[in-house]
């Protein structure tokens, strides 16, 4: 629970904003003058202060330094009815957390509070980990207890040079965490070399990793160093390490033990001082039992382990992640920032997100495109497959009886009835692709045959499996 101070004289707005904040589980105190606000800030602890820039007894900007320097060093959100770019710049330079024009609804304003609280909680939480650089963590959003535990583990691993194994379902943020570990380690500033083991053609894995000498194979007309050498001094990130062919696992184990290797077709021994971070969405212990992964390699990889939980197990992080990515998307599309309809986050929180944060980011990207210049995101802007899924689930749970309707209702607050044809077609294709891939998983004994049957390339097949969060483990016979 955070403690919030609101400094404003507009009673109806104050009442609604206070209600919203209490509803979020925080404690609110109100002050209707700067004098009272200064006294309160000096005598009580506050996490966040909403400060009106124009108060009857003076300028909120003048009171800002005293409030920022109050004993609890609160985060201050300045709000105003008359936006002024110069004043905004000054406020931020003076240390305000944010400067906002008073939005139409108190609810929208309460949402900007989420980020301030999250930022503050992290700041306090991370104080003992002096090595962590705030700037390198700005893209890791989430304040749930699970996320805090992961950030603790991140801080621990960043302080050592041990190999790290990051596990978790597809799209949970494994690469993001790997980056953050690298950027907070002594190797920050050196190379972070990413190897997507799932996308490496089996015949070329060794030459890509180890490099090759001139004449090593047909077409090798000059020698070429590999990714292991490129990572010298920095970090080597092996994504989807479970896909590394067994033959390569053996030679890679040697590299891990000795940090020495030979290029394909080469006699000379080379050295590379890299730190290894590996990631997997597969159960490597099961793969070891099935003789698909080397036990000694797993043992080495797992010197330090970090397990990232699926998004559905930290669903409270969804609004903050959504705000973060919508802001980024609007910025990259050159759009004005967007606010959210009251039920937008409710809908996001009801969905299970099998593709985790990546699926959420994709859904938001499509929502922002669908809304274009509309300032508010509604559930109707979400991809149709999500709305169909939720409508079906809620009908099945008997929460939403639509006995006479042959089609699920697809609208959000607007209550639209029929999807656009293009959306319906997309939903049908998605459903068919998923059914096909599941069948393919049970019929094909291995990846090579799955590609042969489906006519898909290895990387396209992996991309589709990832899209639908289907495991890439085939029947092992």
Q: What is the nearest approach in angstroms of ligand ATP to the Cβ of residue 35?
A: 41
Min dist CB 368 to ligand ATP, Å, is 14
* Torsion angles phi and psi, residue 4, rounded to 5: -120, 135
Q: Minimum CB separation from ligand ATP for residue 199, in Å?
A: 11
Contact between 139 and ligand ATP (CB under 6 A)? yes
Residue 437 binds ligand ATP (CB under 6 A): no
Stretch 62-101: interaction string toward ligand ATP, x if CB under 6 A: ----------------------------------------
Helix (H) or strand (E) holding 408: none
SS3 at position 298: helix
Closest by Cα among 417, 415, 397 to 406: 417
CA Rg value for the chain: 27
CB of 237 to ligand ATP, least distance (A): 10
Q: Which stretch binds ligand ATP (CB under 6 A): 124-132, 164-172, 200-208, 438-446?
A: 164-172
CA distance 180 to 321: 17
Instruction: Using the CB atoms, write b or e for 358-385: b if 16+ within 10 Å.
Output: bbbbebbbbbbebbeeeeebbbbbbbbb
DSSP letter assigned to residue 201: -
Provide the β-strand partners of residue 211: 225
Determine, following the binding rule CB under 6 A, whether residue 195 of this chain makes contact with ligand ATP: no
Contact 255, 232 (CB under 8 A): no
Query: Of 179 and 274, which CB lies nearer to ligand ATP in the complex structure?
Result: 179
Is 140 a binder of ligand ATP (CB under 6 A)? yes
173 binds ligand ATP (CB under 6 A): yes
Span from 120-128, 166-174, 249-257, 342-350 in contact with ligand ATP (CB under 6 A): 166-174
Beta bridge partners of 275: 235
Q: Which is nearer to ligand ATP, 375 or 471 (CB)?
A: 471
Which residue in 74, 171, 319, 419 binds ligand ATP (CB under 6 A)? Answer: 171
CB of 457 to ligand ATP, least distance (A): 18
For 56, which DSSP code? Answer: T
- 176 contacts ligand ATP (rule: CB under 6 A): yes
CA distances from 257 to 153, 253, 254, 299, 342 (A): 24, 6, 5, 12, 55
* Dihedral of the alpha carbons of 280, 281, 287, 289, in degrees to the nearest 10: 100
Nearest alpha-carbon partner for 61 in 31, 96, 35 = 96
13 vs 468, which CB is nearer to ligand ATP? 468
Nearer to ligand ATP, 140 or 181 (CB): 140
Position closest to ligand ATP via CB: 173
Residue with tokens 């080597």: 236
Check binding of 174 to ligand ATP (CB under 6 A). Answer: yes
Please select the residue that binds ligand ATP; options are 170, 185, 263, 339, rule is CB under 6 A: 170
Nearer to ligand ATP, 20 or 240 (CB): 240
Q: What are phi and psi of 463, to 5 degrees?
A: -60, -40
Nearer to ligand ATP, 357 or 377 (CB): 357
| Sheet architecture: strand order including 98-101 | 27-31, 3-7, 48-52, 75-80, 98-101
Q: Is 281 in the site for ligand ATP (CB under 6 A)?
A: yes
The candidate with the shortest Cα–Cα distance to 222, out of 266, 184, 261, is: 266
- Interface residue with ligand ATP among 381, 466, 467, 472 (CB under 6 A) is 466
Q: How would you classify the pairing of strands 164-167 and 275-280? A: parallel
Write the binding mask 227 to 246 for ligand ATP: x where contact by CB under 6 A, - elsewhere.
------------x-------
What are the strands, taking DSSP E only, across 339-452? 339-340, 376-377
Please state the three-class secondary structure of 294-354 as a single string: CHHHHHHHCCEEEECCCHHHHHHHHHHHHHHHHHHHHHHHCCCCCEECCCHHHHHHHCCCC
Which of 68, 88, 109, 321 lies at the binding interface for ligand ATP (CB under 6 A)?
321
Which residues ranging from 349 to 388 are in contact with ligand ATP (CB under 6 A)?
357-358, 361
141 binds ligand ATP (CB under 6 A): yes
What is the rounded CA–CA span in Å between residue 248 and residue 128?
41
Q: Count other C-beta atoms under 10 Å from residue 87's C-beta.
A: 17
Which span (95-103, 114-122, 174-182, 417-425) binds ligand ATP, by CB under 6 A?
174-182
Question: How many residues sit close enough to ligand ATP to count as binding (CB under 6 A)?
Answer: 21
In whole angstroms, how close is the CB of 117 to ligand ATP at the nearest point? Answer: 16
Shortest Å distance, C-beta 118 to ligand ATP: 11
Q: Contact residues for ligand ATP (CB under 6 A)?
A: 139-142, 168, 170-176, 239, 279, 281, 321, 324, 357-358, 361, 466
């Amino acid at each position: 629970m955070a403690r919030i101070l609101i400094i404003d004289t507009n009673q109806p707005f104050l009442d609604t904003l206070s209600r919203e904040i209490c509803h979020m589980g925080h404690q609110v105190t109100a002050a209707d003058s700067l004098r009272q606000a200064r006294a309160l800030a000096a005598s009580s602890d506050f996490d966040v202060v909403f400060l009106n820039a124009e108060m009857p007894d003076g300028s909120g900007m003048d009171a800002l330094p005293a409030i920022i320097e109050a004993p609890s060093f609160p985060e201050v959100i300045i709000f105003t009815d008359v936006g002024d770019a110069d004043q905004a710049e000054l406020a931020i330079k003076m240390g305000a957390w944010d400067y906002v024009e008073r939005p139409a609804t108190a609810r929208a304003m309460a949402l900007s509070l989420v980020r301030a609280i999250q930022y503050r909680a992290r700041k306090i939480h991370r104080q003992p980990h002096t090595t962590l650089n705030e700037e390198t963590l700005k893209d890791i959003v989430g304040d749930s207890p699970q996320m805090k535990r992961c950030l603790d583990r991140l801080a621990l691993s960043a302080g050592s040079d041990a190999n790290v194994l990051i596990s978790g379902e597809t799209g949970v943020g494994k690469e993001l965490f790997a980056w953050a570990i690298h950027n907070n380690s002594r190797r920050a500033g050196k190379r972070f070399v990413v190897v997507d083991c799932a996308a490496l053609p089996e015949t070329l894995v060794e030459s890509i990793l180890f490099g090759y000498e001139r004449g090593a194979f047909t077409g090798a007309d000059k020698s070429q160093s590999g990714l292991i050498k490129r990572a010298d001094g920095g970090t080597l990130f092996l994504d989807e390490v479970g896909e590394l062919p067994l033959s390569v696992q053996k030679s890679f184990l040697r590299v891990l033990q000795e940090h020495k290797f030979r290029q394909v077709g080469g006699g000379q021994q080379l050295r590379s001082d890299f730190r290894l971070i590996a990631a997997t969405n597969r159960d490597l212990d099961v793969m070891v039992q099935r003789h698909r992964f080397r036990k000694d390699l797993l043992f080495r990889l797992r010197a330090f382990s970090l397990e990232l939980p699926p998004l559905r197990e930290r669903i409270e992080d969804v609004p903050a992640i959504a705000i973060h990515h919508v802001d980024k998307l609007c910025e990259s599309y050159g759009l004005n920032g967007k606010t959210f309809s009251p039920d937008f986050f409710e809908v996001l929180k009801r969905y299970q997100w099998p593709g985790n944060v990546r699926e959420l980011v994709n859904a938001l990207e499509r929502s922002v495109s669908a809304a274009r210049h509309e300032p508010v995101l509604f559930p109707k802007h979400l991809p149709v497959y999500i709305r169909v899924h939720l409508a079906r689930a809620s009908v099945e749970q008997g929460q939403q009886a639509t006995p006479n309707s042959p089609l699920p209702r697809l609208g959000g607050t607007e209550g639209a009835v029929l999807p656009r044809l293009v959306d319906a077609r997309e939903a049908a294709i998605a459903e068919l692709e998923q059914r096909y891939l599941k069948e393919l998983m049970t019929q094909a004994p291995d990846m090579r045959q799955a590609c042969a049957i489906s006519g898909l390339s290895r990387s396209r097949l992996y991309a589709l499996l990832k899209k639908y969060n289907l495991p890439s483990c085939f029947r092992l016979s």
